[in-house]
Amino acid sequence: MDMKANKKKLGLKEKYAHMTRGLDWETTYQPKEKVFPQATFEGIKVHDWDKWEDPFRLTMDAYWKYQAEKERKLYAVLDAFAQNNGHLGLTDARYLSAVKLFLTGISPLEYVAHRGFAAAGRNFPGVGPRVACLMQSIDEVRHAQTQIHALSNYNKFYEGFHAGATHQIERVWYLSVPKSFFDDAFSAGPFEWMIAIGFSFEYVLTNLLFVPFMSGAAYNGDMATVTFGFSAQSDEARHMTLGLECIKFMLEQDPDNLPIVQKWIDKWAWRGIRVLSLVATMMDYMLPKRVMSWKEAWEIYFEQNGGALFNDLAKYGIKVPECITQCTVDKEHISHQIWLTLCTHGHAMALHTWLPNADEMDWLSAKYPNTFDKYYRPRFEKLQELADKGERFYANTLPMLCQVCQIPMLFTEPDDPTKICYRESEYQGEKYHTCSDGCKHIFDDEPEKYIQAWLPVHQVYMGNCWPEGTDPTVEGFNPLAKYLEWCHIEDGKDNCDYEGSSDQANFAAWRGVATQNV
């Protein structure tokens, strides 16, 4: 019977090809340019989409099955965590500042990644990358939601979470750093998106973002965060292979793609590294029990692992981004410089800050022998001295922001850590300031894009960041108070020092109830 011939089992690759590649067709009733209008405007040339190697081969039935299994486990743990007051197992409630930064600064990005990958999953003319991007899109909405669900339990007991995952990222000054990164990528075309998010963020930098947060959570008894972290691990592994496949595909398709891809790699490496300086600060200052220093993490995850990656890409002609040279200097400084700025603007923060205690400063001295005692310890000691006298110092103005990365202009010259680094560009008769050669370079390449940046500090000073109906002419008008209200930052509860906060008092009291017979 001829049926027998059909009984031979198809190989996985062959079967997957039927399940995906075979679905697509060359349209004839509508021109290709109208069906895929974003395919060419960035200048990337693709001659044969069939050369795309599927980075992973998941059909939908398998996807549903595996992912549902992970979801069941994840939510069982989250339920148990909530039921058993898991939050009391934290090393210290000040650790939650790191989690607040995650919920307000990272979770909304997962959401934007979901939308951006949906766009990529619609816009590439090749069916292989489209399916892979859609799988990433749905994974990313998973990550946004599991993070919100995991952290929602902290919101019930602690300050600083109540605004939720998204309200503050549009408003709070330091959150425009991660926000503008994703806005930048999504407002570019689909190929640049893949280099920015798929490759730079998910592949090159994810170990420096995801691993420090999740390890920090594990070290500090945060089972909720660890659980979604572990649960997301296999998704992240898929995303990494997609990012890598994408860059290789672009480079293999046409030699003219190399300079465009190189430019994007340079840009997004630097943009990403600037965002990571917030992670650096988290690692060195916000974890009661530290995992490793930022400098160590940088050396392991970037200098060693990243180095191997760039060696791999060298055969395509890709060079290590020039800005990396500056990073070997910066790794000794950035976390200290940022924490000093955050501490002196603690009244305008959506989380608690604190001055490092003596033990912590000794740890920092040991981890940063070249810089901490020389440049930063004296400043923390001075701040402590003022605080001890009841004169805790808070800056009364907001800091000027870099036009590109939107971090306050607080970083120093590569060759002089006592001098703030300012770079200036002129465009259409206006002056724009950037924090570094890396950011200036990015600005100068696309000034028409970066002049559009919505810099929160500028906007505050222009009076655009108050609740509707605010009258700034009334007597005793307090612009900072109105700004905080607009951001949903509760003055006196969410902000300022951890020492003396209600989070500190509640944590101590609840732990007492849970562990003593009172």
Partner 1 sequence: MQIDLRTVAIKPLRNTFDHLVERFGDKPASRYQEGSYNIQQESIFHYRPAWDADNVLFDKKRTKIQMKDWYALKDPRQYYYGSYTITRARQQDAAESSFEMIEDRGLAELVPADLKQMALDVLVPMRHVEWGGNMGNSYITAYGYGTVITQPCLYHAMDHLGVAQYLTRIGLVLDGPEALDTAKEAWMSGAMWQPMRRHVENLLVLQDWFEIFVAQNLVLEGLLNPMLYDYLDAEFSAKGATAISMMTRFMAEWSAETAKWVDAQIKVAAAESAENKAQLSAWVTQYRAETLDALAPIAKRSFGDKADELLADLTSEFNARCAKLGLAV
Q: How far is the CB of 25 from partner 1 (least distance, A)?
A: 6
CA angle, 426 then 432 then 436, to 5°: 105
Q: How far is the CB of 1 from partner 1 (least distance, A)?
A: 8
Q: Which is nearer to partner 1, 67 or 257 (CB)?
A: 67
Longest pairwise C-alpha distance within the chain:
95
Write out the binding residues for partner 1, residues 325-354 only, by CB under 8 A. Answer: none
CB 213 within 8 A of CB 301: no
Q: Which is nearer to partner 1, 159 or 332 (CB)?
A: 159
The piece of 147-155, 241-249, 308-316, 362-370 that touches partner 1 (CB under 8 A) is: 147-155
Q: Which is nearer to partner 1, 168 or 371 (CB)?
A: 168
Q: What is the DSSP letter of 54?
A: P
Q: Which is nearer to partner 1, 236 or 330 (CB)?
A: 236
The helix (H) or strand (E) run that includes residue 24 is none
Q: Which is nearer to partner 1, 384 or 470 (CB)?
A: 470
Write out the binding residues for partner 1, residues 387-416 only, by CB under 8 A. Answer: none
- Classified as helix, coil or strand, 97 is helix
Provide the terminal-to-terminal Cα distance of the chain, rounded to the nearest Å. Answer: 82
Write out the binding residues for partner 1, residues 78-117 only, by CB under 8 A. Answer: 83-85, 108, 111-112, 114-116
Contact with partner 1 (CB under 8 A) among 43, 50, 51, 68: 68
Contact with partner 1 (CB under 8 A) among 296, 385, 454, 500: 454
Query: What CA–CA distances, in Å, run from 282 to 303, 381, 471?
Result: 20, 20, 37
Q: Which is nearer to partner 1, 165 or 383 (CB)?
A: 165
Q: Amino acid identity of 462? A: M
Query: What CA–CA distances, in Å, run from 23 to 17, 61, 304, 439, 505?
Result: 9, 16, 42, 43, 60
Contact with partner 1 (CB under 8 A) among 3, 462, 474, 518: 3
Task: Name residue, tokens 């009172």.
Answer: 518
Query: Does 359 help bind partner 1 (rule: CB under 8 A)?
Result: no
Q: What character string, x for contact with partner 1 (CB under 8 A) and - otherwise, covers 182-221?
A: -xx-xxxx--------------------------------
Q: Which is nearer to partner 1, 37 or 472 (CB)?
A: 37
Q: Total residues at the site for partner 1 (CB under 8 A)?
A: 94
Q: How far is the CB of 426 from partner 1 (least distance, A)?
A: 20
Between helix 107-123 and helix 176-187 the angle, nearest 10°, is: 0
Contact with partner 1 (CB under 8 A) among 40, 57, 89, 119: 119
The piece of 90-98, 141-149, 335-343, 428-436 that touches partner 1 (CB under 8 A) is: 141-149
Q: Which is nearer to partner 1, 34 or 315 (CB)?
A: 34
Q: How far is the CB of 453 from partner 1 (least distance, A)?
A: 5
Q: What is the DSSP letter of 303?
A: I
Contact with partner 1 (CB under 8 A) among 396, 428, 452, 517: 452
Query: What CA–CA distances, in Å, run from 442 to 109, 254, 271, 449, 450?
Result: 21, 25, 9, 10, 9
Q: CA-to-CA distance for 472 and 478, rounded, in angstroms?
A: 8
Q: Which is nearer to partner 1, 1 or 308 (CB)?
A: 1
Q: CA-to-CA distance for 289 and 283, rounded, in angstroms?
A: 9
Neighbour count for residue 515 (Cβ, 10 Å): 9
- Which pairs with CB-CB distance under 8 Å and at least 24 residues apart come from 462-466? 465/171
CB 302 within 8 A of CB 375: no
Q: Which is nearer to partner 1, 252 or 485 (CB)?
A: 485
Sign of the dihedral through C-alpha 54, 302, 109, 160? positive
Contact with partner 1 (CB under 8 A) among 86, 121, 216, 356: 121
Query: Does 74 help bind partner 1 (rule: CB under 8 A)?
Result: yes
Contact with partner 1 (CB under 8 A) among 56, 57, 71, 258: 71
Q: CA-to-CA distance for 411 and 329, rounded, in angstroms?
A: 11
Output the six-digit token pair for 371.
């810089």
Q: What character string, x for contact with partner 1 (CB under 8 A) and - otherwise, covers 291-320?
A: ------------------------------
Contact with partner 1 (CB under 8 A) among 13, 45, 51, 65: 65
Contact with partner 1 (CB under 8 A) among 437, 488, 491, 499: 488
CB 301 within 8 A of CB 207: yes
Neighbour count for residue 282 (Cβ, 10 Å): 25
Q: Which is nearer to partner 1, 121 or 417 (CB)?
A: 121
Q: Amino acid identity of 444? A: D
Q: CA-to-CA distance for 412 and 422, rounded, in angstroms?
A: 8
Q: CA-to-CA distance for 376 and 472, rounded, in angstroms?
A: 38
Q: Amino acid identity of 345? A: H
Q: How far is the CB of 206 from partner 1 (least distance, A)?
A: 20
Q: Amino acid identity of 182? A: F
Q: Which is nearer to partner 1, 114 or 290 (CB)?
A: 114
Q: Which is nearer to partner 1, 19 or 420 (CB)?
A: 19
Write out the binding residues for partner 1, residues 494-513 only, by CB under 8 A. Answer: 506, 510, 513
Q: CA-to-CA distance for 159 and 132, rounded, in angstroms?
A: 39
Torsion angles phi and psi, residue 419, rounded to 5: -125, 125
Write out the binding residues for partner 1, residues 4-43 only, by CB under 8 A. Answer: 5-6, 10, 14, 18-19, 22-25, 27-30, 34-35, 37-38, 41
Q: How far is the CB of 128 from partner 1 (least distance, A)?
A: 13
Torsion angles phi and psi, residue 336, rounded to 5: -70, -40
Write out the binding residues for partner 1, residues 148-177 only, by CB under 8 A. Answer: 148-149, 152, 155-159, 161-167, 169-171, 176
